[in-house]
Amino acid sequence: MPPLKKIIAREYPAVQLLLKLLILLWLVKTIFFLYNYRLSNGWEISNAKTLFAVLGWALYYDLLCTALVLLPFFLALLLPVRRGRFLTIAAWISVGLGTFAVMLNIVDIFYFAFHRQRADADLLYVLRNPFQNGPAIALIILVAGIILLAVVSWILMKQFKRLIKVSVDNEPFYLTTIFLLCLIASLFVGHSKRMLPNRPLTDVTSKQLPLTQNSLHSFLYSLYRSKEAVIPSASYFPANEQTRWFNNRTLNTMAAATPKNVVLFIMESVPYEFFDSNSPYKVPLPFLDSLLTHSSFYSNAFSYSYNSNKGITAILTGLPTLTDIPLYHSPFAGITKTSIGERLAATGYSSSFFIGDNFDDFGFAKCCNWTGIQHYYCMQDVPGYKKLPKHTMGLHDEYMIELMQEKLKTTPAPFFTTLYNISTHYPNDLTPTFRQQTSSLPLSAPAKSMLYYDQCLSNFFSWAATQPWYSNTVFIFCSDHWARPDDSVTTDDVVNSFRIPIFIFDPSINKKSVQHNLVSQLDIMNTVLSYSGSTDSITSYGKSLLEQPDTTRTIFTKVNNGVYQAINSRYVLGFDADAGRALYCFDYIADAKRERNLLSRKNSAIDSIQNMMKAFLQSASNHYRNR
């Protein structure tokens, strides 16, 4: 046999295994592409150049992950010890990696709709809850996942056993091993930063980025970076110029003359559309619609991110999360911050937090302790909770509100109390009674769960209005993040997918107002402290809502682990923090479809918003690094 044919014949079994694993990953990616097609607006692939850029990067990262899976086994073949048991152990290591890679990519098919990016270390903090309290479907999914895991492992091990049998009497697969090593080495060669999962952003858009990525790579990189701030050290301006554009040290110039009690309602997954009278998804909310006629409503309010753990951090601390994992779980938990509970306690306030989850689900008990909140109450604190109807995420809102009422009866004023509801969280489970009451209503599941929450709030306020502290209390409402208002809403938007409801009801004022200036959930902590009468210095990336409206303000959002946005009254600018460059800028007022990227135009307004973005990132990066 000619030497070349002999080499090909010898390497063929190894190449065959590589291709089979690659095809399996591409099959999963194809399903990912189709399943999330509408959500991502057709992935914005409109020409051959874009298509080939996406395909090229997708092939590279899938090959890279294939190399990572296969290398333990192929390197074992190079060792002088070639006993069957040793190779079997090496094969099982590769099988474990391969199965993990396939399963992660399968999970992302469905999880992407909620997370808006490929898997990262944050996944470790959200897996437990749905399977603990969920309905039968959660158990079915779990069993199906275990079966799928076993099938994938069996298929992969079968392939490795064939390779072990072939390799016993032959030389190792030198060429294939060298090829795999070269793939891994390519991550570290040159200055292109291919190690970064966001590296393809030089050639594709942020919406196309998930198509180019492999979930194993993004997850492992996130674990690797879990002890670091995600964005690199940024030095766009001298320190004095940076603070001119953005400063995270603030003062409340407006504060309540008499300290107020504050009740904060963090509304889970509630989008702005539920309160927008011009939206087809406006939900008829008998109580809240009535309350809004006596409240200050902010029509241009934005969340910081898509995630609950980043939302609660922004709301209670005024800090942006730069890490993949929750800030309060990260090595940066010691960051300089204003602890709202401690600051309030210093002026005689008591503080408490109520949520229907299990104790410390998503780390919220840690978060409360981290922010100095004195009392944390969860599902297990409700008497007889085991016999009560459950939501997939925990206990329904009405039962936690009843517990909050009982605790408030004995809570001395002044106090700060937070209720983080869960019934509006996907999958929007209802109590059996309310499900029957609303079965004939032509509303989506999210809308019905919002209607249920409205009823719960109505009952609470009927009780609260009879309490002696009511007239000296302000009630602040803020969503933790936007969520799709209806199953028919399948496309995210760089602006509207961050819009959330924020409004304040003060019984002592009892007046309707609508504020159109831009505000953020990062403003809530400052606002609470303003109502407490505090005018001390605050470490925060927000402003008190009691301050004079700023019509020129820019607010900031986080799209994914590498892309941040600056939004003002006209423009939205996307920025790649890893590469230190702007990705897009749209006039979102005039360009409803976000079709005209204005970055190439010379425009002082665009330069200004870009400088604001850079100053925000520089401030945050330095804050994290200097703690």
Residue-wise pLDDT for 140-177, tens only, equals: 656 676 777 788 788 788 877 777 776 655 677 788 88
Enter the tokens of residue 468. 């002696």
What is the model's pLDDT at position 345?
95
User: Mean pLDDT of all residues in the chain?
Assistant: 87
Q: Is the pLDDT of residue 585 over 80?
A: yes
What is the model's pLDDT at position 269?
94
pLDDT category of residue 284 using cuts at 50, 70 and 90: very high
Residues 343 and 107 sit within 8 Å (Cβ to Cβ): no
CB atoms near residue 595 (< 10 Å): 8
| Percent of the chain topping pLDDT 70 | 91
Q: What angle do CA 445, 356, 421 make, to 5 degrees?
A: 50
CA dihedral defined by 618, 620, 624, 627, rounded to 10 degrees?
Answer: 100
Residues 477 and 265 sit within 8 Å (Cβ to Cβ): yes
Return phi, psi of residue 249, to 5°. Answer: -105, 115
What is the model's pLDDT at position 80?
72
Section 106-117 average pLDDT: 78
* Dist. CA 536–CA 563, nearest whole Å: 33
Q: In what order do the strands lie in the sheet with 295-302?
A: 375-377, 350-355, 415-420, 261-267, 473-479, 502-505, 295-302, 513-520
* pTM exceeds 0.75 for this model: yes
Question: DSSP assignment of 481-539, as one string?
Answer: S---SSTT-----TTGGGB--EEEE-TTT---EEEEEEEEGGGHHHHHHHHTT--SEEE
CB atoms near residue 218 (< 10 Å): 27
Coil vs helix vs strand at 216 = helix
CB atoms near residue 544 (< 10 Å): 24
Distances in Å between the Cα of 485 and the Cα atoms of 84, 303, 443, 492, 499 are 57, 16, 10, 12, 12
pLDDT category of residue 228 using cuts at 50, 70 and 90: low
Token pair 């460059």 is at which residue?
581
Coil vs helix vs strand at 565 = strand
Section 66-73 average pLDDT: 88
CB atoms near residue 30 (< 10 Å): 10
Of the candidates 513, 515, 520, the residue with the CA atom closest to the CA atom of residue 540: 520
Residue 247 CA, distance from chain mean position: 25
* Dist. CA 366–CA 186, nearest whole Å: 40
Q: Is the pLDDT of residue 133 over 70?
A: no
What is the model's pLDDT at position 226?
62
Coil vs helix vs strand at 276 = coil
Residue-wise pLDDT for 77-97, tens only, equals: 887 766 667 778 888 888 888
Residues 532 and 538 sit within 8 Å (Cβ to Cβ): no
Q: What ranges make up the beta strands (E) of 246-338? A: 249-251, 261-267, 295-302
Residue-wise pLDDT for 435-486, tens only, equals: 999 999 999 999 999 999 999 999 999 999 999 999 999 999 999 999 989 8
Interstrand relation of 581-587 and 571-576 (parallel, antiparallel or unpaired): antiparallel
Q: Is the pLDDT of residue 242 over 90?
A: no
What is the model's pLDDT at position 479?
98
pLDDT category of residue 98 using cuts at 50, 70 and 90: confident
Lowest-confidence region among 17-21, 79-83, 429-433, 478-482: 79-83
Q: Is the pLDDT of residue 70 over 80?
A: yes
What is the model's pLDDT at position 337?
92
Amino acid type, 120 = D
Coil vs helix vs strand at 603 = coil
Section 408-432 average pLDDT: 94
Q: In what order do the strands lie in the sheet with 563-567?
A: 555-558, 563-567, 571-576, 581-587
| Percent of the chain topping pLDDT 90 | 46
Handedness of CA 569, 574, 577, 580 (dihedral sign): negative
pLDDT category of residue 528 using cuts at 50, 70 and 90: very high
Q: Structural domains in the chain?
A: 3-224 (no CATH), 262-547 (3.40.720.10)
Of the candidates 480, 168, 513, the residue with the CA atom closest to the CA atom of residue 326: 480
Kindly state the helix (H) or strand (E) to which residue 155 belongs, with its residue range: helix 136-167
Kindly state the helix (H) or strand (E) to which residue 349 belongs, with its residue range: none
* Dist. CA 558–CA 556, nearest whole Å: 7
* Dist. CA 215–CA 102, nearest whole Å: 9
* Dist. CA 251–CA 286, nearest whole Å: 38
Enter the tokens of residue 340. 């709202």
Distances in Å between the Cα of 261 and the Cα atoms of 135, 148, 394, 536 are 38, 53, 28, 18
What is the model's pLDDT at position 127?
55
Q: Is the pLDDT of residue 262 over 90?
A: yes
Residue 234 CB partners (closer than 8 Å, separation 6+):
577, 580, 614, 617, 618, 621, 622
